[in-house]
Structures are given as structure tokens and as C-alpha cells.
Amino acid sequence: MAEDEPTKAEHAEESKLAHDYLKHLATLNTGALLLIVTFLEKLFQRPEWPFLVGVSIVCFLIGVVSTVAAQAGVLEDMYSRGATWARPLTAIGFTGAWGGLLLGLAALVAFCLKNLY
């Protein structure tokens, strides 16, 4: 075993931290979806640019699905150390989770700004 290679316990702790991090990202994406569905009709009677709401919902859904994919990659890496196929899945999942959240928020902010001002 190389000096800089983590022990089994360290690897398990890193995997748990990554898994918790991804759960928080999934919670943010899911919470944003629920807020859109709950309050959109009440806040805007005749909204302009409604397509941005659809873009936002799709982006948040991509974020949720991506976190699940990343969690699967993290778990596979934890239980099958050295599973090289899991690393790209995890990287794509992290990218999709953050991309979905940020793009969804950007579309939602643009929609709100257009309809409030």
C-alpha cells in the first residue's frame, strides 16, 4: 500500500462525507421543485416568459437524478475499491447536480425578475 493511499476507514469516512454532501444537493433541488409547484400559481396570475418555469423544473429534475447517479458512484467506489467505472459516473453526477441547481436557479431568477419588474 502506498503512503498517500487512504486506509479503509479513511476511505469509508470520505465516502460518507461525499454521500452526505450529495444528499444536501438533492434536498436543495427537490426543495426548489416543491417551492415552484406550491407558490407559482399564487404569486403570478398572468406570468410572462412561462417557458423559464419549465426550464427551471427540468434543470432541478436533472439535478435530482444526477445526485442519485453520483451517490451510486460513491457507493460503488466505497464497496468495490478500485472500481474505475464508478469515477466517471460520480464526476458526471456531481457536474449534473451542480449544473442543474445553478441553471434552474438562474432560470427561476430570470422569470421572477421579468414578472416582478
| Cα separation values, 35 from 53, 80, 84, Å | 12, 38, 38
Read off the C-alpha cell for 94.
456531481
Residue 22, domain member (yes or no): no
Residue 4, domain member (yes or no): no
Res 17 pLDDT > 70: yes
Q: How far apart are CA 76 and CA 95, in angstroms?
A: 18
Total of domains in the chain? 1
Give the structural domain span for 101.
27-116
pLDDT tens for 57-112 read: 999 999 999 999 999 998 888 777 666 788 899 999 999 999 999 999 999 999 99
Query: Reduced to 3 states, what is the DSSP secondary structure of residue 61?
Result: helix
Global pTM? Answer: 0.86
Buried b (16+ CB within 10 A) or exposed e, 29-51: beebbeebeeebeeebeeeeeee
pLDDT given at position 45? 84
Residue 50, domain member (yes or no): yes
Residue 87, domain member (yes or no): yes
pLDDT given at position 112? 92
